[in-house]
Structure 1
Amino acid sequence: MTAEQTAQAPALDPSNGSGRRALLYAILTVLLVVGVLLSAGLGQLAIGPAQVIGSVLRAIGIDNAWAPDELLLEQTLWQIRFPRVMISLLVGALLAVAGAVMQAIFGNPLAEPGVVGVSSGAALGAAGAITLGLTVFGPWSTAVFAFAGGLTATLIVYSSARAKGRTEVVTLLLTGIAVNAFAGAGLALFMFAGNTASREQIIFWQLGSMNGSRWNEVLIVAVVGAIATAAAIRLGPRYDLLALGDRTAAHLGVKVERLRIFSDVIVALLTGVAVAFVGIIAFVGLVIPHLIRMILGPSHRTLIVASLLGGAVLMVYADLLARTVVPAADLPIGLLTSLVGGPFFFWLIRRNRRRAGGWA
């Protein structure tokens, strides 16, 4: 067993760290609720937390004195801010789960949809659908082609990085660089060939933004994300066995290659549906699962659930900063996540290199 596999081996005592897990879940839930209230209330038109809560209670049929009386406030909440808040927490959750799954199937904490090119591949598929006017799947067309692009990129990375039963870190990173470069060239080509409207949407994907989110998009992301996330959580125990090594996992009854291929589809679904509506948002799937693993350990079912909450928290607060840090401006959210994720990625590479005594 390699040092990397040993570090990710499942805990022997199932009850170990249960109190820490419950505490982390509670903290993340509180942070998420506070973040939702702040994000829904802050902006050019300030709305108090009590009014936000009152509006939600009235929407579900509970009369209360907190709900705002002004129609403008209600429209601002339900037509602009709530869809944006929901899409931000959903996208953050799905990207974090995708990162946790990728790290499980590659057996390496450096794997992440943005780093290895899966997000760029999904964005390329979505941009192609827009520029070429592909509407064969109706309103789902953009999301379907984003999924196809993400799945293709995932399969390319997987087939290139696996050698002699293990993942080569250098090959993983180099393949990600190549996929990102190719996707960037494809996006530039579609920008050159498309009209003004398609160019604006492609630029939107390259920067990443929650601006203009709508309820129908929230529904699509929620449905697809719930199915893929449920599948990932169900596979958690198998990922624990996979961390012991391919041969050991196979002896314990895990169909290793089938598990990896099915997990590739899960990652493509999660990444594709997120990228299709908000653009490329890097490093969420790298930072969150790694931090959760450091706190709770390597049990993948717990890791995936906690990463879901952590990703949602991170993206809600990142979107809040994107809307409020510069008055009367909406910063690209991909810019903020890269400012945090870039240094973290650099630290993670150096940490792994020191532990392994060189590249593995």
Structure 2
Amino acid sequence: MICGVLTVAVGVLVVLSGAVGSVEVSTVQAAKIVIGHLAPGMPWMSDGSLTALQDQAVWQFRLPRALLAGLAGAGLSLAGALMQVTVRNPLAEPYILGVSSGASVGAVLVIVLGSAALGGMSMNLAAFVGALAACVCVAALARKDGALSPTRMILAGVALGTLFSAVTSYLTISTDAQNVVSVLFFLLGSVSAATMSSLIGPAVALVVGCVAAALLARSLNALMTGDESAVSLGVDAARMRAILLVLASLLTGSVVSVAGGIGFVGLVVPHIARIAVGADHRRMLPVAVLGGAVFLMAADLLARTVAAPTEIPLGILTAFVGAPFFLWLMRRSGADRAGFGR
């Protein structure tokens, strides 16, 4: 039922997003344009009730933006849920653990230096490499007595995130003025430059992540109970953590490369999903994925309207929600304890 409600909410937000902008389009017209392109031959597409400008505004600009927000929210939420299992800590998520910052370094290097300087590496690939490098560094620094310490992982993530942010800041001030504006807007997070082609990377990463998470759901449940219990159930804890870190890096890198640094989605949404349907990942993960899409699509709609015609970067809005939530969650569960209780 919850998944059904969230799916309907995604559809409603797509229509609402299509109706918001400088070109006047009603929600009914926005729905007709989307349906008309998905199902060619609809009579309203040629009866003169819709102008070419309205069609272009909805299909080429507003729809890709709404879809990218949904894919980014779903991807970051899934990445956060996987990271929380990896370290058995409800405070873990890509932004807090420095993974988003690592991905940002890779993407900004492409913006500042160009793809050729990095051996022809695309922004998506550079962001993935940066995210994976951040994951490996955090995991290496967080090991204590051969096991990952949740507290050390949070502290290492914060420290490395600050270091990566410093690297990004240096790259920003050392480039020309034209690149500075692009980098700053990118770091704050935005889906305003979305195109249909920019949806491919996050969509592929999300499909891979969802399929893998569905296949590994039982193993995730076992890993959440502790390494000893997981091993007794036939789960290789070290191998499983490596797989989860790669998946989280893939999801985070694909999102950061096209939407910039958007924090706290992977913290807020999985925890709410866990409260709503319990800790069983067979139920929680679908709710987290759809909930992440709804959360970021709603945030993008708010970013476009709350201070119109000025647009607020998504990272600012998610921080306003996520930072207080993080403090509440830290106080409730304790940063030094792994906890996934309701």
Q: TM-score range by the shorter chain?
A: over 0.9
Deviation at 1:352, TM superposition (A): 0.9
* In structure 2, C-alpha distance between the alignment counterparts of 1:205 and 1:69, rounded to whole Å: 34
2:30 corresponds to which of 43, 52, 66: 52
* In structure 2, C-alpha distance between the alignment counterparts of 1:220 and 1:354, rounded to whole Å: 33
Matched, 1:197 2:178: yes
Deviation at 1:307, TM superposition (A): 0.7
Residues 128, 190 of structure 1: 8 Å contact kept: yes
Residues 50, 66 of structure 1: 8 Å contact kept: no
Residues 119, 272 of structure 1: 8 Å contact kept: yes
The aligned residue for residue 34 of structure 1 is: 12
Residues 292, 303 of structure 1: 8 Å contact kept: yes
Change (3 A) 1:83 1:135: farther
1:45 counterpart letter in structure 2: V
Q: TM-score, normalised by structure 1?
A: 0.88
* In structure 2, C-alpha distance between the alignment counterparts of 1:233 and 1:254, rounded to whole Å: 16
Change (3 A) 1:237 1:306: same
* In structure 1, C-alpha distance between the alignment counterparts of 2:120 and 2:35, rounded to whole Å: 31
Residues 137, 144 of structure 1: 8 Å contact kept: no
* In structure 1, C-alpha distance between the alignment counterparts of 2:216 and 2:103, rounded to whole Å: 24
The aligned residue for residue 298 of structure 2 is: 317
The aligned residue for residue 43 of structure 1 is: 21
What whole-Å deviation, never above 9, does each CA across 1:157-193 have from its counterpart, x for those lacking one?
2222233465434312211221111111111111122
Paired-residue identity, %: 37
Residues 82, 244 of structure 2: 8 Å contact kept: yes
Q: How many residues align?
A: 335
1:61 counterpart letter in structure 2: A
Compare 36-45 and 315-324 and name the one that shifted more: 36-45
Deviation at 1:196, TM superposition (A): 2.5
Residues 29, 50 of structure 2: 8 Å contact kept: no
Residues 110, 349 of structure 1: 8 Å contact kept: yes
Compare 102-111 and 171-180 and name the one that shifted more: 171-180
1:52 counterpart letter in structure 2: A
- Unmatched tracts of structure 2, length 5 or more: 338-342
What whole-Å deviation, never above 9, does each CA across 1:1-41 have from its counterpart, x for those lacking one?
xxxxxxxxxxxxxxxxxxxxxx2112211221111111111
The 5 Å alignment of 1:1-360 reads: 23-67=1-45, 68-135=49-116, 141-164=122-145, 167-353=148-334
Residues 234, 301 of structure 1: 8 Å contact kept: no
Deviation at 1:285, TM superposition (A): 0.2
Residues 107, 167 of structure 1: 8 Å contact kept: no
Change (3 A) 1:140 1:311: farther
* In structure 2, C-alpha distance between the alignment counterparts of 1:308 and 1:136, rounded to whole Å: 36
Could you say what secondary structure the match of 2:334 adopts? helix
- Unmatched tracts of structure 1, length 5 or more: 1-22
Q: TM-score, normalised by structure 2?
A: 0.92
What whole-Å deviation, never above 9, does each CA across 1:211-264 have from its counterpart, x for those lacking one?
111111112221222122221222111111111211221122111111111111
* In structure 2, C-alpha distance between the alignment counterparts of 1:124 and 1:294, rounded to whole Å: 34
Residues 99, 249 of structure 2: 8 Å contact kept: yes
Residues 218, 281 of structure 2: 8 Å contact kept: yes
Change (3 A) 1:135 1:231: farther
1:207 counterpart letter in structure 2: L
Compare 270-279 and 31-40 and name the one that shifted more: 31-40
Compare 175-184 and 340-349 and name the one that shifted more: 175-184
* In structure 1, C-alpha distance between the alignment counterparts of 2:190 and 2:336, rounded to whole Å: 37
Deviation at 1:93, TM superposition (A): 0.4
* In structure 1, C-alpha distance between the alignment counterparts of 2:240 and 2:116, rounded to whole Å: 32
What whole-Å deviation, never above 9, does each CA across 1:287-325 have from its counterpart, x for those lacking one?
000010011111113222111100000011000000111
